[in-house]
Amino acid sequence: MERPLSTLIVIAALALSLAHAQEAAQRLVYADFEQLNKDKHPMSARGGRIIFDVTAQNDKNKPTVSPKLFGAQAPLTQRIAFEYELKQPNDWATAYIKILGFKDKGYTAGEVWERQLLAKAEDLSDYKFLTLDIGAVGTEEVRIDLISESNGIDTNAFPSFNLKVNNQLQPYRIPLTDFKQPEGSWVTKKVTTSGVLKKLTSVQINVSKVPSKGIVVLDNLAFEK
């Protein structure tokens, strides 16, 4: 007995809805930079703040960082970027973008160097990959950090991965097992990647090549199972 066309349409719609639900369960969009807050500043996919900042060994010669937002230009969707310049003399310096998963509660009181960002954590330890679209000019490598702040994990060196990039915006899929805590005498407190992922608060993209000057463009940051 043949089913009426209306029944087949409903079945097809339900199958498509189920497929989309299964895909969503396998992939968590962390930041696609389509969401803007009331001040027209980009947020993460679930309302987390996006922070641009710098650090340097030489406080008198700090790097510069300038946020950018590029509107959709088919086939590209809206994407974020930052221009940077890391100058000598500096034994080390970094310009970065930090993407928080959720809205934070601001910083604790005290000196700038001792303040802590009060951020909401989430357990992403079931995910296997970090994916993103990224391209850069002025550097051939960026460092990606997995960070947990104000949630019981105390360290000065979070798990990271050094990603080779070029001047073309293109997709990358990085196994989370490739993220490792740096080694060295300066690493005072050990953590594991799985431990940080259980209380993840942000993902940070860093440029650390001294000297260097250029731009980093980023889009479609996600976790996949």
For position 4, what pLDDT does the model report? 62
* Burial degree of 152 (CB within 10 A; 0-12, 13-18, 19+): exposed
For position 138, what pLDDT does the model report? 98
Could you tell me if 25 and 224 are in contact, meaning their C-beta atoms sit under 8 angstroms apart? no
For position 115, what pLDDT does the model report? 81
Distance (Å, whole) CA 55 – CA 75: 35
What residues have CB less than 8 Å from 2, skipping those under 6 apart? none
For position 1, what pLDDT does the model report? 53
For position 15, what pLDDT does the model report? 54
pLDDT per residue as tens digits for the range 78-102? 999 999 999 999 999 999 999 999 9
Q: How far apart are the first and last CA of the chain?
A: 41
Could you tell me if 181 and 158 are in contact, meaning their C-beta atoms sit under 8 angstroms apart? yes
Whether cis (ω within 30° of 0) applies to the bond prior to 89 is yes
Could you tell me if 168 and 89 are in contact, meaning their C-beta atoms sit under 8 angstroms apart? no
**Token reading at 156:** 């000065």
For position 188, what pLDDT does the model report? 85
For position 111, what pLDDT does the model report? 77
Whether cis (ω within 30° of 0) applies to the bond prior to 4 is no
Q: Report the Cα 92 to chain-centroid distance in Å.
A: 22
For position 10, what pLDDT does the model report? 57
Residue 178, Cβ neighbours under 10 Å: how many? 15
What residues have CB less than 8 Å from 67, skipping those under 6 apart? 50, 52, 80, 81, 82, 97
Q: Within 13 A of 137's CA, how many CA atoms are on the CB side?
A: 7
Q: Could you read off the pLDDT tens digit of each residue along the chain, which spans 225 residues?
A: 555 655 656 555 555 554 555 556 799 999 999 999 999 999 999 999 999 999 999 999 999 999 999 999 998 999 999 999 999 999 999 999 999 999 999 888 877 767 889 999 999 999 999 999 999 999 999 999 999 999 999 898 999 999 999 999 999 999 999 999 999 888 989 999 999 999 999 999 999 999 999 999 999 999 999
* Burial degree of 125 (CB within 10 A; 0-12, 13-18, 19+): middle
